[in-house]
Chain A
Amino acid sequence: MVGRPAANVIVLIAALYTLLPVLWLLLAATKNTTALFGSKLFSFGQFSLWHNLAALFSQDGGVYGHWYLNSLLYAVLGAGLGSLISVSAGYAFDKYAFRGKEKAFGLVLVGVMVPQTVLALPLYLVASSVHLVNTFWAVFVPVLFNPFGVYLGRVFAAGYVPGEVLEASRMDGAGEIRTFLRVALPMLGPGFVTVFLFQLTAIWNNFFLPMVMLSNQNLYPLSLGLFTWNSQATVTPDDYPLVVTGSLLAVVPLIAAFVLLQRFWRSGITAGSVK
């Protein structure tokens, strides 16, 4: 097999491949239009990061700030509420017996398999018939739906919450819902964070649904906002530094979340993939 030095070199090359484009984004955000198009990345003669940041937040009446807040709202609220809904359902699928349970769970698995983008048009028409198109809710409600979270919730409930603990809580006279909230949910903590993190990423990356649902720029998430700015920049190249700097700020929260919550997504991927 490849020797020890070769193995390290291969992994190093792979890490450079994954890191360098992000580093490029970081350096490019410090450049003005001229330096960007001169592709002189390492010349810091024209350090324009502060200027770019100021321009970023003042462009189009500060709409970028709106996009940032919108993305945070869609993603943090959506992932918080969505993972609570999914994990409770997964827990119930694991811990209770009721008629048609496995059939219902099969339907959940179909939900995992069906590409969600396929449903964007009918979803748009349903939203339009109840006058929700071009509102916050048109994006917020669909992103709550996370069938993979239900699957993971069931796997985690089976692994982390022993039946005896629930028994003990019932013996103490606690009701089922109280038992779930006070006993099971804290034990499901790591699983919950995993589902939350996956859903946070999915919503933060969401592009197709907002594109279908929204026309009011003030409701855009970052992904859609940056997309429209990039299309404007093809006409007015002076906007390119805005797109680049805006993209850099848009990747910061998720990268921070993944670095800080490493042990969760590692265990989560394991639980989701190794059956």
Chain B
Amino acid sequence: MSTAVSSDAAAARPPDRTGTAAAGAHGGRRSRRARTTRRQQRTAAALLIGPFGILMALVFLVPLVYAIVLSLFTVDHHGLGFGNGHTVFTGLRSYAAVLTDPTFASGFGVIGLFLVIEVPVLVIVSLGLALLLDSGMVRLRRTAQLFLFLPHAVPGIIAALIWFYLYTPGVSPVVRALSGTGLSVDFLGIHLVLPSLVNVVLWNGLGYNMVIFYAALQAIPREVIEASVLDGASAWRTALRVKIPMVRATVVLVVMFAVIAALQLYTEPTLFNQTDALVSSRYTPNMYIYDAAFDRQNYGLSSAAAVILLVVSCVLSYAVTRWSNRGEDRK
């Protein structure tokens, strides 16, 4: 009976063929029993994975294929808009339209700039805080972690709302305090609106990433750190030379998730769009997709933009992984 059972708990393991071999080797009752067990296990696997599989087909695979199909067609809404429009195959025309649309390109420009500001601050501040907590010099470590993590529990739309109020002159105690010292800062003006958006996203995610780094730092074997300290390295040097290189993979992970999240940026700028004219309704690629589909009713255009965004996301996360692997090889 035991032959067919994968008692090994290791996650990555090639498909188990030993069961078949063993069933052939033994004869009679035992092999029949092994076969029954294997069938039972296959049924169990199907039952346990089945619901997820159906869900994946319904809300992931079908829409994915549908998006690609849609991007190749255009619906003509001639006449009075009654009944179904006339669907025409237009090949890559929607792609050409999206790629030559300056508002779509500027959305990627916004994301690019967003990342240039966000990624260094996110990595330096959250890793820095994690190093401080890990160094043992900080009191009330658990409480500090909880407080820093708390904004993660605030929905993006509410985070954007809070900060929008904190940026608005007349409502904001921050703007008031600054003007009290003679500084007039226009957080929602042309120069600062993007950094202001970055701040909302950073506020939301800083603690979460700090906990990820902290967990990675805690996983470093203590002997390694003790050895460095015995060599006479200062805490500063230990952090730079020993700890940071050992959490390199985590840095890559954090950067990758930041890139994927930034490409999906929608909620926060959409809230800003309600009152700040500088944030247009096509400010980010995702807002462009929504605008094309629901304000302009151009599904072909919207789907083509979605497919392009999808490809960019995949290429970028692949590139980040490759870049990190190359670093590993060099070591």
Known contacts: A89-B49, A115-B264. The answer to whether A142 contacts B59 by CB under 8 A is yes
**A223 B155 Cβ-Cβ under 8 A:** yes
Interface residues of B in 294-323 (CB under 8 A from A): 294, 299, 302-303, 306-307, 309-310, 313-314, 317
How many residue pairs bridge A and B at CB < 8 Å?
A: 308
B55 neighbours in A (Cβ, 8 Å): 85, 141, 144-145
A98 neighbours in B (Cβ, 8 Å): 15, 42, 45
Interface residues of B in 119-137 (CB under 8 A from A): 125, 128-129, 132-133, 135, 137
Known contacts: A8-B138, A19-B147, A176-B41. The answer to whether A125 contacts B56 by CB under 8 A is no
A273 neighbours in B (Cβ, 8 Å): 212, 215-216, 250, 253
Q: How large is the interface on A (under 10, 10 to 19, 20 to 34, 35 or more residues)?
A: 35 or more
Interface residues of A in 127-182 (CB under 8 A from B): 141-142, 144-145, 147, 150, 154-155, 157-159, 161-164, 166-167, 170, 175-177, 180
**A223 B19 Cβ-Cβ under 8 A:** no
A212 neighbours in B (Cβ, 8 Å): 290, 294
B212 neighbours in A (Cβ, 8 Å): 269, 273
Number of interface residues of B (CB under 8 A): 116
**A207 B157 Cβ-Cβ under 8 A:** yes
A207 to chain B, nearest CB (A): 5
**A226 B67 Cβ-Cβ under 8 A:** no
The docked-state distance in angstroms from the alpha carbon of A166 to that of B290 is 49
**B7 A269 Cβ-Cβ under 8 A:** no
Known contacts: A19-B147, A118-B310. The answer to whether A11 contacts B274 by CB under 8 A is no
A247 to chain B, nearest CB (A): 5
**B155 A118 Cβ-Cβ under 8 A:** no
B142 neighbours in A (Cβ, 8 Å): 262
Check: B271 CB closer than 8 A to any chain A CB.
Answer: yes
Partner of A269, one of B12, B215, B306: B215
Known contacts: A18-B151, A22-B154, A114-B314. The answer to whether A125 contacts B70 by CB under 8 A is yes
The docked-state distance in angstroms from the alpha carbon of A54 to that of B319 is 53
B89 to chain A, nearest CB (A): 17
Q: Which residue of A lies closest to B68 (CB)?
A: A122
B300 to chain A, nearest CB (A): 11
Check: B158 CB closer than 8 A to any chain A CB.
Answer: yes
Stretch at the interface among A58-66, A188-196, A252-260: A252-260
Check: B44 CB closer than 8 A to any chain A CB.
Answer: yes
The docked-state distance in angstroms from the alpha carbon of A10 to that of B14 is 48
Identify whether the interface residues of A are mostly helix, strand, loop, or mixed: helix
Interface residues of A in 1-25 (CB under 8 A from B): 1-4, 7-8, 10-11, 14-15, 17-19, 21-22, 24-25
**A19 B150 Cβ-Cβ under 8 A:** yes
Given contacts A85-B51, A223-B156, 15 further A-B contacts (CB under 8 A): A15-B147, A92-B49, A95-B6, A100-B15, A113-B317, A115-B313, A125-B70, A126-B62, A175-B44, A176-B40, A177-B44, A208-B290, A212-B290, A258-B146, A273-B215
Q: Residues of A at under 8 Å CB distance from B? A: 1-4, 7-8, 10-11, 14-15, 17-19, 21-22, 24-25, 28, 36-37, 39, 41, 85-86, 88-89, 91-102, 104, 107-108, 111, 113-115, 117-126, 141-142, 144-145, 147, 150, 154-155, 157-159, 161-164, 166-167, 170, 175-177, 180, 201, 204-205, 207-208, 211-212, 222-223, 226-227, 230-231, 234, 243-244, 247, 250-251, 254-255, 257-259, 262, 266, 269-270, 273-275
| 20 A–B contacts from the bound complex (CB under 8 Å) | A19-B147, A21-B151, A24-B166, A25-B162, A28-B165, A85-B51, A91-B48, A92-B45, A97-B4, A107-B56, A111-B56, A118-B286, A119-B67, A161-B9, A207-B157, A230-B271, A254-B155, A266-B215, A269-B212, A274-B250
Leading 7 A-B pairs by shortest Cβ distance: A163-B7, A176-B44, A97-B16, A1-B236, A122-B63, A92-B48, A89-B52
